[in-house]
Amino acid sequence: QSVLTQPPSVSGAPGQRVTISCVGSSSNIGAGYDVHWFQQLPGTAPKLLIYPSKKRPSGVPDRFSDSKSGTSASLAITGLQADDEADYYCQSYDNSLSAWVFGGGTKVTVL
Amino acid sequence: QVQLVQSGAEMKKPGASVKISCKTSGYNFISHYIHWVRQAPGQGLEWMGMITFVGETPGHAQKFQDRFTMTTDTSTGTVYMQLRGLRYDDTAVYYCARGPSFDFWGQGTLVTVSA
């Protein structure tokens, strides 16, 4: 049971927009801590998609965007492409656990 | 360019210890802390702990408190993690990642615990 809750899977057709939710609580996202989003392709290390400052690391297209409201956050992927098929994880800091915590991950499938 | 290069795969017996290195390069390592994250086969990501190069008290997940140690070598910009009392469910890929935003990751080190 992850501290941050993500849907196990989302899917969409090429070109569509999909969103991944990340539900936390008042001790993590709701406390104002930054939320990070990562993409993980099979057999590779996770890759940061967006800095808390909203800047994107080199090579990450602006099709990826994030938002936060209250105790939840979300990642949106617009113009879905085949190479967006991957696992996506949200992450934040939890002050009741004094630990960084991850969501359980969401598998994105391009139909 | 920023790089984190980890040591190679390890196979250990239950009860043994494992020590993994993470060598940083391409940036001022003093100004960033390093996280350790692990991923069991087919599972999600799990934060283990973090350490700085400037002697600040490291932080680690309560789950690993008694058997997890992180150290640094400022002469080489290398971070080490050691996990003691290995159990079968410690089989995982272990990653180091640069803080605060986990923006650069090592390639991962597979640790297999098997009798």
B41 cis-preceded (ω within 30 degrees of 0): no
Which chain A residues touch B37 with a CB distance below 8 Å? 46, 102
pLDDT recorded at residue B55: 62
pLDDT recorded at residue B98: 96
pLDDT recorded at residue B52: 87
DSSP annotation of A29: G
State the nearest Cα–Cα gap between A57 and chain B, in angstroms. 8
B47 contacts A101? CB cut-off 8 A: yes
3-state secondary structure B38-104: EECCCCCEEEEEEECCCCCCCEECHHHCCCEEEEEECCCCEEEEEECCCCHHHCEEEEEEECCCCCC
Mean pLDDT of B28-48: 94
Q: Distance between CA B18 and CA A98 in Å, rounded?
A: 25
A100 contacts B47? CB cut-off 8 A: yes
Is A110 a residue whose pLDDT tops 70? yes
Helices (H), chain A: none
Mean pLDDT of chain A: 95
Mean pLDDT of A10-22: 97
pLDDT recorded at residue B59: 83
Burial of A34 (0-12, 13-18, 19+ CB in 10 A): middle
Q: Distance between CA A26 and CA A17 in Å, rounded?
A: 29
Task: State in Å, rounded, how far the first CA of chain B is from the last one.
Answer: 40
State the nearest Cα–Cα gap between B76 and chain A, in angstroms. 23
Is B54 a residue whose pLDDT tops 90? no
Q: Distance between CA A94 and CA A23 in Å, rounded?
A: 13
pLDDT recorded at residue A51: 86
B108 contacts A45? CB cut-off 8 A: yes
Is B58 a residue whose pLDDT tops 80? no
pLDDT recorded at residue A85: 97
pLDDT recorded at residue B57: 65
| A11 HSE (CA, 13 A, CB side) | 3
B61-101 pLDDT, tens digit each: 889 878 999 999 989 999 999 999 999 999 999 999 999 89
Mean pLDDT of B51-58: 76
A46 contacts B105? CB cut-off 8 A: yes
Mean pLDDT of A59-72: 94
pLDDT recorded at residue B53: 81
Least CB–CB distance from A102: residue in B44, B101, B103: B44
Mean pLDDT of B38-65: 88
In whole angstroms, how far apart are CA A111 and each of A11, A60, A86, B16?
7, 22, 13, 45
Q: Distance between CA A102 and CA A94 in Å, rounded?
A: 10
pLDDT recorded at residue A53: 75
